[in-house]
Structures are given as structure tokens and as C-alpha cells.
Amino acid sequence: MVGRIKGNMSDLRTVLRDIGTLFIVVGFVTLIALIVPLYFGEYRPNSSFDAIGGILITSALFFGAGLPLFYVFKNAEPANFKSAMITAALGWLFISLIGSIPFLLIPYNTSTMAHMGLLSAFFESMSGWTGTGLTMVENEGLLPHTLQFWRTLIQWIGGVGVIVLTLSILARPGTGSFVLYKGEARDQKIHPSIISTVRTIWWIFLLYTIIGIISLAIIGSVTNDGMNLWESLNHAMTGIATGGFSVTDDSIAGFGMISQITIIVLMIFGSIAFAAHYNLLKGRIKKFLSDTQFKAILVLIILGVAVLTFINLGIYGNDIFYSLRQSSFQFISAITCTGFASVENLSEWTESAKLMLSFAMVIGGAAGSTAGGIKLFRAVLLYKGVGWRIKRAISTPRRVFVHKFGGKSLSKENVMDLINEAAIISFMWVILLAVGVLLIATLRPSETLGNVIFEVCSAQGNVGLSTGITHINMSPIAKTMLIFNMWIGRLEIIPIVVLIKSMVGIRRNIV
């Protein structure tokens, strides 16, 4: 008993130190947002609209909480698997909570000067940090520039991950860094060193962001229905981060086809693993094209777009080209877990079309990318696992099977471990999805089941597409449920399970 309590206390000190480190880094990142109110003049001292004050208070709270935690517990033990999981779970929760302050203090509507309540602000912040994109805001074009950029910034950072950002800046080599990296639902390594890996991830991410901004701005300058520089900046950042927050009321619907195609490229690139991007940038084209997850998403996009185009023909007056344009953008937005919309009202689509998009949102993008969902890696594993099991069932007992995945031969034990992990995560993902669907359906009995499933899949898949269920006046219980769905979706469930189990264990020891 004494040894268990000491172990828990040691883990607690490690968690508090690492959360303090996260807060310090996010506090510095928050200061970047000050550029916007200074440039656009969005500050009025002693009034209800002081954007600079909202950003400074947020940064001060991050520093005020982070610095004491770091310095008091700086000599704590290196992170282990358990403490890393708890750090990830609590870190994302508290960062989203503190990150809601700008939404509380800065009006979300420049016309009415209305402010969000605490739960709505927390929802908006959680949606941003987790890269979801569901929003409490009805008219995003009426947001102050400061809040527009704050939403963009937290999605851009959250797309790669606050722990990955922290490791790239402050971490030292060691096993503690690796378990923290895994705690944020990542395990792919580009280099043997985890520090080199996270720094490579960030320069790839920054490179694509810059390319996206320049591309959208150039298109906007030569076309009448393109984006201006401000729109290019925000949409490129949330596009490559597969976040989906927009600065316009109709998301991407108001922009021309060339801009939408560019956004499609950004969404797909955001959903591809950074390890595959590294091969592409190093000129290893064959290796990039042979990546299992890359091939899987291409196949799913081709099949999904074809089926959805056929389903939507009736809605678009049998105009196959217009149906293809709308269906392809929305399916790619769904499977990459971005959440941009080229359709003004998705609730008007048929139930089968919404079910197709829900299926895509559940699968999601590649493991090791910025996308959500259960991940293509697990979907492919489960698909192959079913095939292997059927072959074994219909074959002779003496037949020797070779299990290949990603071009590598795996032992039976390794295969079973991988399939079991994929099955467990997927099963828990579906169970929690069902809980969300049942609760929202109970609270919104007037909604069709298709709309409810779509909304919960969007939240837990960290997508952001909506049929209109999510809005600022929705039930507090429904808001809380979707916040929980977004949180567990971003961290892929296990860190939350470890956190809950640890809290129960501590309570039992105290009692």
C-alpha cells in the first residue's frame, strides 16, 4: 500500500511538471495572437471590446499556472507510460479550458457585441484545440479579427499537438520524451531520435502552411471569386491542420473552383502521415506512393466520391458534374477530418448521403497525420485481419501463412498484437460514439437519427461538419457530451481511460 501511494505521488509530480511545461510553451504561443488586434486596432481600453486584454490575460494564466508547476516539480522523475497518458489527458483538458478565455472576454459578434457563456466558450476552445471545427458561432464573418485568428491559431497548433510542439522546443533526449510523444496518440518516428522527429514534423508542417497561404493568395489575386490575403492565411492554416474553422459565414462555399481544388489538396496533404511527407520531400517518390495509408485513402476517396456522386444526382437535378464537384469536396473534407463545407445546408442531403459522410468521418486519415477518426492504419489492419482469418478458416491446418503489412512480413504474434489493439480501440470508439448518439437523440427527439449520428461522428472524429444541431442555444448537456466526444476523439480514448483508472485508484488508496 505504501509503495503504491509513493508511486502515485511520484507520477503526480511528473504529471504536474510536464503540464507546467505545456502551459509555459502555450503561454508563449498565445502572445503571437497579439499581432492581430494591434494590426487591426481591436482594442478599446475601459470598454467591452479589448482584444489585447483578452489575449494577455490568457497568456498570463498559462504562465501563472505553468511556471510554479515547472519549478516546484522540475526534479520529478522522467515520464513513464502512465504519467504520459495522464499528462496528455489533463493537458488537453486544461489548455482548452484556459484557451476559452478569449471567447469569454472578446465579443463573438461585432454587430451586437454579444459574449459567449462559459460552456459555449469552452466548447469553442475544445473544438479548436482538438482540430474539430464544430462552432458556437453562427456568423463567422462577424467575429473580430482577433477571435478569427485565435480560432485559427489553436487549430493550427492543435493539429500537430501541444506536446509535439513542447518537445520540439524544450525537451531533452530520453525515454520520457518518447512516452510523452506516444501519449498524444503518436508513435511514428521519422528519425531514431524523437526530438529530431518532432522538429522534422514541424518544419514540414510550416513549409506546407506557407505554400498553402501563397497559393491561395495568388489564386485570389488573379480570380474574382478567390480569397484575399486574410482569408488565405486562415484557411491555409486550418486546412493543412485538418481543422476546418473558417472566417466566412459559408465556409468554402463562396469561393471558386480553383480555390476549392487548392483546399482539397491541402486537406489531403494534412491527412497523410508526416513520415510519408518526409519521403516525398526527400525525393523518395516510390516509397511515398507505396505507403499503405496513402494508398488506402486514395482508394477510399475514389470509391467514396463515386458512390456519393451517384447518391446526390437527384438533389442536383441529374447534373453529374455539379454533383461530382459538391460530393468530392464534402467526402474529402469528411475523410480527412477537416470539416470545410462547400454546401450551405448538409441537413438537406439524403440519409444515405449523410451516412456515407459519417462512415468517412469514423475512418479518418492516416496515423501520424493531423487528421482524426480511428485512423486508416487501424481500418486497414482490421480489413486485412478479417481476410487472414477467413483464409485460415478455409485452409488446411498445415498451411503456413505469411502476414504482410506495409511491405513487411510479420510474425503471427506481432500480427495478433496489432489487430487486437486496433480492434480494442475501434470497439471502444464505437461504444462511446453510441453513447453520444443515444444522449443527443434523447435531448433532440425532433432530429432524424441520421442527423444525430452525423453530428456525433463529426465531434468524435474531430471533423466539424454539421447538420445544424450544434449551435450556441443547444442544451448544456448536449454541449458537454460533444465536448467529451471531441476530447476522447483527439486523444484516441486510452489516455482518458488511464486518467479515470488512476483517479479511481487514488480514491481507493485514500479511503
* pLDDT of the residue at 2: 45
Q: Which three cell numbers stand for residue 290?
A: 507505396
Cβ–Cβ < 8 Å for 105, 53: yes
The residue type at 327: S
* pLDDT of the residue at 8: 61
Going by the DSSP 8-state scheme, the letter that residue 346 receives in this structure is G
| Cell 480501440 belongs to residue | 425
Cβ–Cβ < 8 Å for 337, 457: no
Phi/psi for 50 (5° steps) reads -125, 85
* pLDDT of the residue at 347: 87
Cβ–Cβ < 8 Å for 499, 85: yes
DSSP codes, 105-140? HS-S-TTT-----HHHHHHHHHHHHTT----S-S-G
Cβ–Cβ < 8 Å for 70, 21: yes
* pLDDT of the residue at 503: 78
For residue 1, pLDDT beyond 90: no
* pLDDT of the residue at 415: 74
Please name every residue paired with 50 in a beta bridge, in sequence order, or none if there are none: 43
Cβ–Cβ < 8 Å for 32, 127: no
* pLDDT of the residue at 508: 57
Q: Cα(464)–Cα(43) distance, rounded to whole angstroms?
A: 30
Of the pLDDT bands very low, low, confident and very high (cuts 50, 70, 90), residue 172 is low
Span 248-300, pLDDT tens digits: 999 999 999 999 999 999 999 999 999 999 999 999 999 999 999 999 999 99
Span 77-119, pLDDT tens digits: 888 888 989 999 999 999 999 999 999 999 998 888 889 999 9
Going by the DSSP 8-state scheme, the letter that residue 242 receives in this structure is T
Q: What is the mean pLDDT of the chain?
A: 89
Angstrom distances, CA of residue 240 to CA of 5, 187, 262, 387? 44, 20, 11, 34
* Segment 1-11 mean pLDDT: 57
Cβ–Cβ < 8 Å for 122, 96: yes
What number of residues does the chain have? 511
Cβ–Cβ < 8 Å for 297, 268: yes
Q: Cα(463)–Cα(133) distance, rounded to whole angstroms?
A: 6
Span 19-29, pLDDT tens digits: 999 999 999 99
Task: Output 413-422 pairs: Cβ under 8 A, ≥24 positions apart.
Answer: 415/385, 415/388, 418/381, 419/381, 419/382, 419/385, 422/377, 422/378, 422/381, 422/382, 422/385
* Distance of alpha carbon 215 from the chain centroid: 24
- The whole-model pTM stands at 0.93
The residue type at 175: T
Cβ–Cβ < 8 Å for 406, 366: no
Helix (H, G, I), strand (E, B) or coil at 409: strand
* Segment 438-456 mean pLDDT: 95
**What percent of the chain has pLDDT above 90?**
68
Of the pLDDT bands very low, low, confident and very high (cuts 50, 70, 90), residue 419 is confident
Q: Cα(223)–Cα(270) distance, rounded to whole angstroms?
A: 25
Phi/psi for 159 (5° steps) reads -60, -45
Span 351-403, pLDDT tens digits: 999 999 999 999 999 998 999 999 998 998 888 888 877 877 777 666 666 66
